[in-house]
A and B are shown apart, each in its own frame.
Chain A
Amino acid sequence: MSTIDWNDLYRTTFEDLVRFLHRKVWDTERARDLAQEAFVRALQHEPRKPRAWLFQVAANLARDEARMVIRRKKHLVLLKSEAESREASGKDPADELMEQEKWAMVREALDSLSETDRDALLLWDAGQSYTEIANELGLAVGAVGTTLSRARRRLAEAYNEKEKADVARR
C-alpha cells in the first residue's frame, strides 16, 4: 500500500519540475507536458523516493526529447489539439521578444557548462538537496558544493559576457 501523499507531492513539486525541464528543452509547453508525463510514470511505478525519482525520469525524458529533436530534424509537424492550436499566448509581442532574448542568453550560458555542472545547478534550483543531487549525478555529497560553486561562477561569467556582447552589438 502506497503511503505517498501524491496530492502534496504534486503541489510542491510540479512547478519545480517544469522549471527544471524548461531549462533543458526551452519550451514551456513541452516542459509542462514532460512534467505531466513524469508524474504519470511515477503514479504507475510508485517509487519509494518519488521526488528524486521524478527528477531523474524528467532528466531522461529531456534527454529523449533532445534526441527526438534531432531525429525529427526535417518537416516535423506536430498537430496539437484544436484547442491548443487556438490557444493564444496573450502576451505583448515586445515583452515576449525580450523574454525570449533573455532565455536565449541564459540558455547559451547554461550550454557553456559541462553536463554535470549544469544538471547540478538545475537540480539545486529545482529544490533538490545535496544528497539527492549526489545520488542523481553519482557524486559524493561533499563534491556537490564544489560542483555548484564552479557551475554558478561559470554561469555568471558566461551570462555577463553574452550580455556585454549584446549591448555592444546594439
Chain B
Amino acid sequence: MSHVDEGALHAYLDGALDEFPAAEAEKIRTHLDGCSECAERLEVERRIRADAHLMLGLAAPAVDVPSFEEIRAYVQRTRPAGGRVSRAQRLGWAASVVLAIGAGWMLREGQLQQRALDIGQEAASAPAIGVARESEGFAERQNALPVEAGADQNLAADAPDRLTPARVESDDERLAGAVGELGDAPQEAKASAEATVRSALEERTAAQDEPGSPLLAPARLADLADSSDVLGDPRNERADAGAFRGAAGEYDSVVVESIVATGLVAEAETTAAAAAAMNDAVGRADAQQVAAPAEEAAERRRLAESAVPLTSALNTSGRAVPSAADETRSVDDEPLASVPGFEVLDVASLGDGARLYGSRILQRYSDDVVFEVVRLEPGIDPSILAAAAAGHAEARAETDNGWILVRGPLPLVELERLLGRLIPEPPTWP
C-alpha cells in the first residue's frame, strides 16, 4: 500500500476510521503500524490538529445553559393549531398574496388581457407538438408537484428536485404558453387546479422547514412575499418605478408558476379562458386577504382587543384593510406591509387626528400569541409610542422610510427574524 494521505491521518487521529469501510480502515491501521515515514507525518499532523483545537478553544465562550423546561414550555405555549400544516397554510396564504399582487399589477397594466387575446388567437393555430414541448418545460419547473386529474405523470417524474430562480423565471413567451395551456377550462377544472396549486405551495413551504431539503434555500416564495411588502406600501420610497418594475417581474414568475401548475391539470381537460382564470386567481387571493368570514372577523376583533396596546398614547383610526367589495383595487391600494406568512388580524392607522404617525398591524403568530408591526412615518420617533408591555420584547430598525418596530411576547431572536423579513435586501447584496 502507498503511504497514507493527510485525510486518513486526521481520520485516524480523530478516531473516525471506524466510519470508513472496514477493509480500508484496516489497511490504514496496518500501514501506520509498519511505516516509519507515515508515523513521522502522523506526529506532524497531530501537532497541527492540537494547535487548531487550541485556537478554536480560545474562541469558546462560557455557556450558561438555560433550563430545558423553559424551552419546552415555550414550545407548548406557541405550538400552532394544527401543527405544521397550519404553518404551511399561512405561508400558502402569503404566496397567494404575492400571486394576487403580481396578477393585479399585470391586470392594471392591461397586459394580461391583451396577452390573453393574442394567446387565444395563437393557441388556435398552434401545432400540437408545440404545446407538448412547452408542457414538458412547465413540468420540469414544477419539481414534482402533485399531479391530478389525469395529467401526465411522466412529465412531472422527470422534474428536477430543486426549484431555482432560473427555473421559475418567466418571460412573455412562457406566460403566453402557460396561459394558452389553460385554454377554456371549465370551472371544475379551475377549482381542481387551484387545489393543486395550493397543495403544491403548502408542500413546498413545509419542505423548506426541513434541513437537507433541496427546497430549504432559497426560500423563494418567502422572499417574494418580502418584496410584496415593499410594493404594498404606497408611501414607501423604495418602491420607485425601477424597483417596482423589477419586483413585478418577479411576481410574473410566481404567476406563471401557479398557472403552470394549473396547466398540469387543465392539460387533461384543457379548456378555460386565461384571463378569467387570472381574474379568479386575483379574486381568490383578494378574498383570502381582505374578506374574512364573519366569524373570523369577530375573532380578529377579539384578538385585536386582547392584544397588548403598544400605542396607547395614540388614537387609532380607520382600518386600512380594503373592504371585501373592493375587488378592483390595484397594487397601490394594498394594505400596509405585514410579515408574510402570518395571518393579519388588524390594520390601523396611527394618528392624533391632525397628523398621521404611521400604521399598526396585528398578526397572529400562533393560537394565543399575537405580535405587532408598527411602521412610523419618516421623521416620527419611536419614543412617542408607549413602552412595550411587560414580558414583551421589541426589535426595531430605522429605515430610509422611517422606523419599523416588531413587538410581542416572543423571544427577541424571533422578533428580529420577523423584523428582518420586513426589511428588503440592500441593493448591494450579492
Interface of A toward B, CB cutoff 8 Å: 6-7, 10-11, 14-15, 18-19, 22-23, 28, 30-34, 36-37, 39-41, 43-45, 47, 53, 56-57, 60, 64, 67-68, 70-81, 102-103, 105-107, 109-110, 121-122, 124-125, 129-131, 135, 141-153, 155-156, 159
Q: Which residues of A contact B388 (CB under 8 A)?
A: 79
Q: Which residues of B contact A151 (CB under 8 A)?
A: 52
Q: Which residues of A contact B56 (CB under 8 A)?
A: 23, 106, 121-122, 125, 155
Cβ–Cβ contact B65 & A14, under 8 A = yes
Q: At the interface, yes or no: B48 with Cβ under 8 Å from chain A?
A: yes
Bound CA–CA A146/B398 (angstroms)? 46
- B165-220: which residues lie under 8 A (CB-CB) from chain A? 209-212, 216-217
Bound CA–CA A149/B409 (angstroms)? 46
Q: At the interface, yes or no: B242 with Cβ under 8 Å from chain A?
A: no
**Binary per-residue interface labels of chain B (94-111) against chain A in the complex, 1 for a CB within 8 Å, 0 otherwise:** 000000000000000000
Cβ–Cβ contact A75 & B397, under 8 A = yes
Q: At the interface, yes or no: B307 with Cβ under 8 Å from chain A?
A: no
Bound CA–CA A48/B427 (angstroms)? 39
- B52-87: which residues lie under 8 A (CB-CB) from chain A? 52-53, 55-56, 58-66, 68, 71-72, 74-75, 79, 84
Q: At the interface, yes or no: B19 with Cβ under 8 Å from chain A?
A: yes
Q: At the interface, yes or no: B368 with Cβ under 8 Å from chain A?
A: no
Q: At the interface, yes or no: B11 with Cβ under 8 Å from chain A?
A: yes
Q: How far is the CB of A126 from chain B (nearest CB, A)?
A: 10
Q: How far is the CB of A153 from chain B (nearest CB, A)?
A: 5
Q: How far is the CB of B199 from chain A (nearest CB, A)?
A: 20
Q: Which residues of B contact A28 (CB under 8 A)?
A: 61-63
Tell me how many residue pairs across A and B have CB atoms closer than 8 Å: 185
Q: Which residues of A contact B74 (CB under 8 A)?
A: 40
Question: Which of A45, A67, A74, A155 makes the CB contact (< 8 A) with B398?
Answer: A74
Cβ–Cβ contact A149 & B71, under 8 A = no
Cβ–Cβ contact B411 & A36, under 8 A = yes
Cβ–Cβ contact A19 & B426, under 8 A = no
Q: Which residues of A contact B6 (CB under 8 A)?
A: 145-146, 149-150
Cβ–Cβ contact B393 & A81, under 8 A = yes
For B65, the closest partner residue in chain A by CB is A14
Cβ–Cβ contact A152 & B49, under 8 A = yes
Cβ–Cβ contact A32 & B63, under 8 A = yes
Cβ–Cβ contact B417 & A56, under 8 A = no
Bound CA–CA A81/B390 (angstroms)? 9
Bound CA–CA A76/B394 (angstroms)? 12
Q: Which residues of B contact A131 (CB under 8 A)?
A: 19
Bound CA–CA A76/B212 (angstroms)? 32
Cβ–Cβ contact A146 & B58, under 8 A = no
Q: At the interface, yes or no: B423 with Cβ under 8 Å from chain A?
A: yes
Q: Which residues of A contact B394 (CB under 8 A)?
A: 79
Interface residues in B, total, Cβ within 8 A: 62
A-B pairs, 4 with minimum CB distance: A146-B7, A145-B7, A56-B211, A145-B11
Bound CA–CA A83/B396 (angstroms)? 18
Write 25 A-B pairs (CB below 8 A) sorted by A numbering: A6-B72, A10-B68, A11-B65, A18-B63, A19-B61, A28-B63, A39-B68, A40-B71, A40-B74, A40-B411, A47-B211, A71-B423, A75-B397, A75-B398, A77-B398, A81-B393, A102-B59, A130-B16, A130-B19, A145-B11, A147-B7, A148-B7, A153-B48, A153-B52, A159-B55
For B78, the closest partner residue in chain A by CB is A40
Contacts A130-B11, A149-B6 known; list 4 others, CB within 8 Å: A11-B68, A131-B19, A145-B11, A150-B6
Bound CA–CA A145/B13 (angstroms)? 10
Cβ–Cβ contact A53 & B211, under 8 A = yes
Bound CA–CA A39/B417 (angstroms)? 16
Question: Which of B66, B211, B398 makes the CB contact (< 8 A) with A36?
Answer: B66
Assuming the contacts A6-B68, A56-B211, A151-B52, asked whether A43 and B398 have C-beta atoms less than 8 A apart, the reply is no
Cβ–Cβ contact A60 & B7, under 8 A = no
Bound CA–CA A72/B362 (angstroms)? 22
Bound CA–CA A88/B357 (angstroms)? 36
Q: At the interface, yes or no: B8 with Cβ under 8 Å from chain A?
A: yes
Question: Which of B14, B19, B210 makes the CB contact (< 8 A) with A45?
Answer: B210
For B211, the closest partner residue in chain A by CB is A56
**Binary per-residue interface labels of chain B (410-424) against chain A in the complex, 1 for a CB within 8 Å, 0 otherwise:** 011110110110011
Cβ–Cβ contact B211 & A72, under 8 A = no
Q: Which residues of A contact B31 (CB under 8 A)?
A: none
Q: Which residues of B contact A53 (CB under 8 A)?
A: 211
Cβ–Cβ contact B75 & A43, under 8 A = yes
Bound CA–CA A90/B396 (angstroms)? 27
Q: At the interface, yes or no: B273 with Cβ under 8 Å from chain A?
A: no
- B1-45: which residues lie under 8 A (CB-CB) from chain A? 5-11, 14, 16, 19-20, 24, 45
Cβ–Cβ contact B60 & A56, under 8 A = no
Question: Which of B16, B53, B66 makes the CB contact (< 8 A) with A125?
Answer: B53
Cβ–Cβ contact B61 & A31, under 8 A = yes
Bound CA–CA A129/B216 (angstroms)? 23
Assuming the contacts A37-B411, A79-B396, A102-B58, asked whether A32 and B64 have C-beta atoms less than 8 A apart, the reply is yes
Q: How far is the CB of A84 from chain B (nearest CB, A)?
A: 8
Cβ–Cβ contact B63 & A144, under 8 A = no
Question: Which of A22, A75, A107 makes the CB contact (< 8 A) with B60?
Answer: A22
For A84, the closest partner residue in chain B by CB is B412
Q: How far is the CB of A114 from chain B (nearest CB, A)?
A: 15
Q: Which residues of B contact A145 (CB under 8 A)?
A: 6-11, 14, 16
Q: At the interface, yes or no: B395 with Cβ under 8 Å from chain A?
A: yes
